[in-house]
A and B are shown apart, each in its own frame.
Chain A
Amino acid sequence: AQKVTQAQTEISVVEKEDVTLDCVYETRDTTYYLFWYKQPPSGELVFLIRRNSFDEQNEISGRYSWNFQKSTSSFNFTITASQVVDSAVYFCALRSQAGTALIFGKGTTLSVSS
């Protein structure tokens, strides 16, 4: 069975703090894909990143970075110098090579105050 766990339900930080959102996944597939989506208060899910299971390189995009570790089945997301606009619900998701649907975690609500 495939499963995604986001243990942090809610996180509150003050602007300019760094914050890491955890994601742990379970799958028996050797090839799979991991995703992060952002859901701001407006409600629309926004794609952030896709990572293939055979590519463990970490990725940085501006203030965002992702740490993929197959050994611990984790795909964590770090926001550096957080801003109020980062306030949203963040979802981690998993998809197998053969599958079609995304398996989502329950999401982490991030609140950044000024």
Chain B
Amino acid sequence: GAGVSQSPSNKVTEKGKDVELRCDPISGHTALYWYRQSLGQGLEFLIYFQGNSAPDKSGLPSDRFSAERTGGSVSTLTIQRTQQEDSAVYLCASSLAGGEPYEQYFGPGTRLTVT
């Protein structure tokens, strides 16, 4: 079946602009995660959604970052007033459920470059 998909694959934006990154999880997966991968910080957790529960936002680095998940499926990660340090690959993952440690399946990522 189809895996996790993300769009766009690449995004170049000017400092100060807002960007939206999209994630389509695997059908039937109720848990969705956003991670960020950068050279200096490695892979960092950002936010987690499970069904209709309140999201776990503990990994968001600043209030410029927000995410939503509509209809329990597609998720959008929004970065406002982008800064150069936001340049990274943003990875989305989904799993069958969040309560159990099911393996997380990752999408190909969105490479964000802030100029």
Q: A43-B89, A45-B91 are in contact. Are A101 and B105 (CB under 8 A)?
A: no
B48 touches A100 (CB 8 A): yes
Q: Which of A18-26, A74-82, A103-111 contacts B (4 or more CB under 8 A)?
A: A103-111
Smallest beta-carbon distance A29→chain B, Å: 12
**Which of B35, B42, B108 sits near A105, CB closer than 8 Å?**
B42
Q: Is B101 an interface residue when CB atoms closer than 8 A count as contact?
A: yes
Question: How many Cβ-Cβ contacts under 8 Å join chain A to chain B?
Answer: 51
Cα distance A98–B58 when bound, in Å? 14
Cα distance A44–B5 when bound, in Å? 11
Smallest beta-carbon distance A76→chain B, Å: 19
Q: Is B25 an interface residue when CB atoms closer than 8 A count as contact?
A: no
B43 touches A47 (CB 8 A): no
B33 touches A100 (CB 8 A): yes
- Which B residues are CB-close (under 8 A) to A103? 45
Q: Is B98 an interface residue when CB atoms closer than 8 A count as contact?
A: yes
Q: Is A11 an interface residue when CB atoms closer than 8 A count as contact?
A: no
Cα distance A43–B92 when bound, in Å? 12
B42 touches A50 (CB 8 A): no
5 contacting pairs across A/B (C-beta < 8 A): A35-B103, A43-B89, A101-B56, A102-B104, A103-B45
